[in-house]
Chain A
Amino acid sequence: MGWLEKWEGGLYQPVVMVIVLVLCAIPYIMPLGLPIPIGEDARTMYRDIEALPEGSIVLLHGPTGPSSYGDVGYGFEAFFAHLMRSNMRVVIFSPSSVAAPMYTYALNRIKDVMQDKVYGEDYAYYGFIINAETEWSIIANDFKGWQNNDYYGTPITEVPLLNEINDINDFDAIVATFFGTINAEGCVRQVGSVYTNGNIYILAGGAVYPYAKAYSPEPFKSVLFSLRGSAEYEYLLRRPRRAIVSMDSQSIMLTLFAVLGITGNILGYTLKQRKIKGGLN
């Protein structure tokens, strides 16, 4: 058995895995600073947020649970930091109980822009609502009527920012991070029909992006793509954090995947030809 037969017979698997591990690790040990060209969706969102007057109220949906944090969590941090830096007032709510502790985690990671911010006035955490369709239905139809307290148990009447919201149209913009299709569906169905301001911006995880993109430019004005979108946003903010570093790693991996797809075809074809030739001889 020649090397090609051995390789195609399964030897490629451990070799590919070692290559993946080495290439993945390089940018974390030694950041490469690969260029990140900015897409139109990220530009639109950034420009629109910058154009909002100070004190505008923005609904920020997220973050997701820990397993998907690497996909859309860094983007959540970037959006939160941008909104706080631009002196917007932000109401946050999470999609599930597993996502709620991630809010504290995200908050700790943007401490640099939170120094002079006051909870209840500049930002407030509404908590989480179980079931995607239900949460968007509540947000769209009865934001104030459904829940009496914020996440920390403080009555909404004592949280000035939350007390100010009577209707979903009191939000000047909605920024949402989605990891699963079900959340995007809920948002489209429940919010898309009643939110008249039109400023809905989405950061969609890899699996949900094609679905969410189908609803752009309406009701979703911008749909940013996963880690790539997060990195673009960090770049626009001039606030390089983990999305940009992770994007180096992701770019290398995507290129490697393409190389593997092509190599697999070339070597597979070569082996096939060799077998045909051997058969003829």
Chain B
Amino acid sequence: MSIYRRSLPITITAILATLLIVQYFFGFGNAGKSLVTVFSNWNVILYTMATALGLINLSVIHSRRIINKSSGQWPYSLLLLITMISFIFIGLVYRPESETYEWLYMTTLGSITTAVYATAVLLMASATYRAFRVRTWRSWVLLIGFLIVTLGNSSMIEAIFPPLTDLQRWYVATPNMAGQRAILIGGAVGAISLGIRTIIGKERGVIGAD
């Protein structure tokens, strides 16, 4: 790998990461704040550029499908492009904060995404019937935990048998939290070691190398 593809990206990553870590812990007043603002701006600019790139890429791929009349695909591509262009046009004309845009957004994207998300309940119900079969002592633990959390969150059951909710709250606050915190601490230790490896140039995944 050349200096431009390996050493330079690693050096830039190391300098910037060190700067941000030091700023996080020591602040450095207004200078530190300005540093954060500069990087935040860069972050937002890169995100926006990536969105713009995605928009161009999407337009090219789907236009090609329409021109070639790809079997079974071009009507969907046409629909996608019409929707995309319509939303951009309406957003530019009415502005995204207008009631017209909000109405359009909610009646199309809002309804569709909510419906797609809601269908998960059907799959979950069907899966619940199969997933909690008791075969080993571990599956007993899973089933008992599932019943405590599920029934404890049901206000109907809570009204009939209040101790179950106390049990559910204990379950979430004690065994669950112990497990969660253990995972968090383990993850944090892993992140620190990955960060150190990245800063000293041992971890090259960040620059796309193996």
Chain A contacts to B: CB under 8 angstroms: 12-13, 16-17, 19-21, 24, 34-37, 39, 65-70, 98, 100-101, 104-105, 108, 129-131, 134, 137-138, 141-142, 145-146, 151-152, 193, 210-211, 213-214, 225, 228, 231, 247, 250-258, 260-265, 268
Contact = CB atoms under 8 A, between A and B. Distances in A.
Nearest to B24: A193
Contacts of A268: 133
Contact of A228 (B43, B97, B155): B155
Contacts of A193: 24
A257 B124 contact: yes
Interface of A is mostly: helix
A254 B150 contact: yes
Contacts of A261: 128-129, 131-132, 143, 146-147, 150
A137 B36 CA distance: 8
A84 B105 CA distance: 26
B55 to A, nearest CB: 13
B37 A67 contact: no
Top 3 closest pairs, chain A to chain B, by CB: A67-B113, A66-B110, A254-B154
Contacts of A104: 97-99, 102
A144 B109 CA distance: 33
Interface string B94-133: 0011110110011001100110111001101110111111
A264 B157 contact: no
A51 B188 CA distance: 36
Interface of B is mostly: helix
B70 interface: no
A66 B157 contact: no
Contacts of B196: none
Interface string B182-202: 001000000000000000000
Counting contact residues on chain B (CB < 8 A from A), the size range is 35 or more
Contact of A66 (B41, B47, B114, B173): B114
Interface of B: 24, 32-34, 36-37, 40-41, 43-44, 47-48, 96-99, 101-102, 105-106, 109-110, 113-114, 116-118, 121-122, 124-126, 128-134, 143, 146-147, 150-151, 153-159, 162, 165, 169, 172-173, 176-177, 180-181, 184
Given A68-B117, A214-B181, 16 more contacts: A34-B155, A65-B113, A67-B113, A70-B114, A100-B96, A104-B97, A134-B44, A142-B36, A145-B34, A210-B177, A213-B172, A213-B176, A214-B184, A250-B153, A253-B125, A255-B157
A253 B110 contact: no
A105 B126 contact: no
Contacts of A213: 172-173, 176-177, 180
14 contacts: A16-B125, A17-B126, A20-B121, A34-B155, A35-B158, A37-B159, A100-B96, A104-B99, A138-B36, A138-B37, A145-B34, A251-B155, A261-B150, A265-B132
